[in-house]
Amino acid sequence: MEIFQMSDIRRTKVHGRNLMAAVAALALPAILVSGVALAQSKGKKDEITITITRIKALDRIDVGGGNPDFFARATIAGEAIKSPVVKQQTESKPDWKLTKVVPRGKTDIKLELLDKDVLNPDDLIDINRVDKKRLLEFTVDTSSCRVAGFSNGYRCGSKISRAGLEKKKAEIDFVVSVKKDK
């Protein structure tokens, strides 16, 4: 078996080219292919679903004097997803499922409850106990199935209940679930 030193490889010619350049040319595709395989294994996708199980008005919500026409909007990884509208009900168990496929890891979510209005802009209902913050903002880590952003930490599958404190307030119950490898 012959052992080459780097200086020998640099001086050795293969078809008029340096052996070092030939080795590098062969190694580059192997590096690229292994990099693609690594990126694909890290590029796994998971499905996040927010299931809204209950909503309840805690005061007068509809300006017109009727009952609210509730709907929810979840912004998951920057994409807004709306639920259907529940018409003229102060309390409902809608079982709305707001779903999005996201890259594995941490995903930011905004959850809003609104009152649908025909002639005026829709009213954002207060479901957050923090002053002047009506919506809920939290993070879901699909790797560990943890929900963060509340005073208590939650795991996927736990019921989360929140209620607002300001005018036009409501209570909302929801569950966050994750399906792995979509």
Write out pLDDT tens, residues 11-53: 555 555 555 555 455 544 444 444 433 443 378 999 999 999 9
Residue 182 has pLDDT above 90, yes or no: no
Nearest Cα residue to 160 out of 145, 174, 181, 144: 174
Q: What's the predicted TM-score (pTM) here?
A: 0.76
Q: What is the pLDDT of residue 170?
A: 98
Distances (CA, A) of 150 to 17, 69, 123, 138, 171: 64, 27, 24, 7, 15
Helix (H) or strand (E) holding 160: strand 159-163
Residue 73 has pLDDT above 70, yes or no: yes
Which residues does 165 contact at the CB level (< 8 Å), separation at least 6?
126, 129, 131
Q: What is the pLDDT of residue 15?
A: 58
Q: What is the pLDDT of residue 123?
A: 94
Query: 181 — alpha (psi -120 to 50), left (phi > 0) or beta?
Result: left
Strands 17-18 and 91-92: unpaired
Q: What is the pLDDT of residue 43?
A: 85
Which residues does 181 contact at the CB level (< 8 Å), separation at least 6?
44, 45, 46
- Residue ranges covered by each domain of the chain: 6-42, 45-179
Write out pLDDT tens, residues 78-113: 999 999 999 999 999 999 999 999 999 999 999 999
What superfamily would CATH give domain 45-179? C2 domain (2.60.40.150)
Write out pLDDT tens, residues 111-138: 999 999 888 899 999 999 999 999 999 9
Q: Which residue has the tokens 């998951």?
A: 76
Pick 1 or 63 by higher pLDDT: 63
Q: What is the pLDDT of residue 39?
A: 41
- pLDDT (mean) for 52-77: 92
Q: What is the pLDDT of residue 45?
A: 96
Residue 176 has pLDDT above 60, yes or no: yes
Pick 164 or 2 by higher pLDDT: 164
Strands 136-141 and 170-179: unpaired
Pick 65 or 132 by higher pLDDT: 132
How many Å apart are CA 128 and CA 164, to the nearest integer? 4
